[in-house]
Amino acid sequence: ESGGKSASSDGIVDGGTLHILDISEGATNLDPQRIYTGADLGFLGSTIQRTLTSYKYAAGVEGSELVADLATDTGTASNDAKTWEFTLRDGVTFEDGSPIECKDIRYGVSRTWASDVTGDEGPLFALSFIDAPEDYPGPFTATEEQQAGFNEAIECSEDGKTITFNLRESVGDFNFTVALLAFGPVPEDQDTGDQYTLKPVSSGPFKIESYEQGKELVMVRNENWN
């Protein structure tokens, strides 16, 4: 009788547990640098992974509007849109309360190059934009010279608040590209390589309490999310 809508909101309270039963095996991956399907991007981007920019939380066309997330705005382009700069907002942290800095985002992005770990599962087209060394193998096996070259492609300010992407070509919508979870932060000292998919460190409103791959994923509120 209510036309598909709840007849009343009386009695609704904050909190509680939401159970989602699915005939599939759930998310194909929880490693942000290995995610590229729409369902997984939406699910994990809404729960455990933040990015420099994101999409407005709204239904319909309004939900395609780009908004700032980890960054203070949606980025500044220069050099014919071959250079993009973002400033991190104050107070953003990982689930353990440690601050999210430029180096964490740069490290996260660098993991996408490590095909031996990520299996070439991420948005590989995005890699072609960044002016990294042609032979860069990712952070796990890079030489000092290769890593230094990569760090020139994605520069961090001394205070760790500003990240600058140097691109091979003009990309007028690169601020949409950094909304992909592959551009999310990963703390290097907590990276477990190809096992990171089992418990990625959260920067979002939820964190992983337990995970039995293909069977059950339990998330709880991240008390350090702001």
Residue with tokens 């319909």: 60
Query: From the CA atom positions of the chain, what is the Rg in Å?
Result: 19
Neighbours of 64 (CB within 10 A): 10
Three-class SS of 112-158: CCCHHHHCCCCCHHHHCCECCCCCCCCCCCCCHHHHHHHHHHEEECC
Task: Report how far apart, in Å, the C-alpha atoms of 106 and of each of 17, 39, 216 are.
Answer: 35, 25, 31
- Rounded (5°) CA angle 149-199-189: 40
Residue 106, pLDDT score = 98
Q: What is the pTM of this model?
A: 0.89
Positions of the chain with pLDDT under 70: 1-9, 25
pLDDT of residue 85: 98
Q: Measuring CA to CA, how many Å separate 107 from each of 19, 52, 196?
A: 34, 14, 14
Residue-wise burial string across 134-146, b where 16 or more C-beta atoms lie within 10 A, e elsewhere: eebbbbeebeeeb
Predicted confidence at residue 120, as pLDDT, reads 86
Q: 215 phi and psi, to 5 degrees?
A: -125, -55
pLDDT computed for residue 19 by the predictor:
86
CB count within 10 Å of CB 216 equals 9
Q: What's the pLDDT score for residue 8?
A: 65
pLDDT, position 23: 77
DSSP-derived 3-state class of residue 23:
coil
Task: For 91-115, write each residue's pLDDT tens digit.
Answer: 999 999 999 999 999 999 999 999 9
- The answer to whether the beta carbons of residues 166 and 53 sit under 8 Å apart is no
What pLDDT is recorded for position 110?
Answer: 97
Report how far residue 81's alpha carbon sits from residue 171's, in angstroms, rounded to the nearest whole number.
6
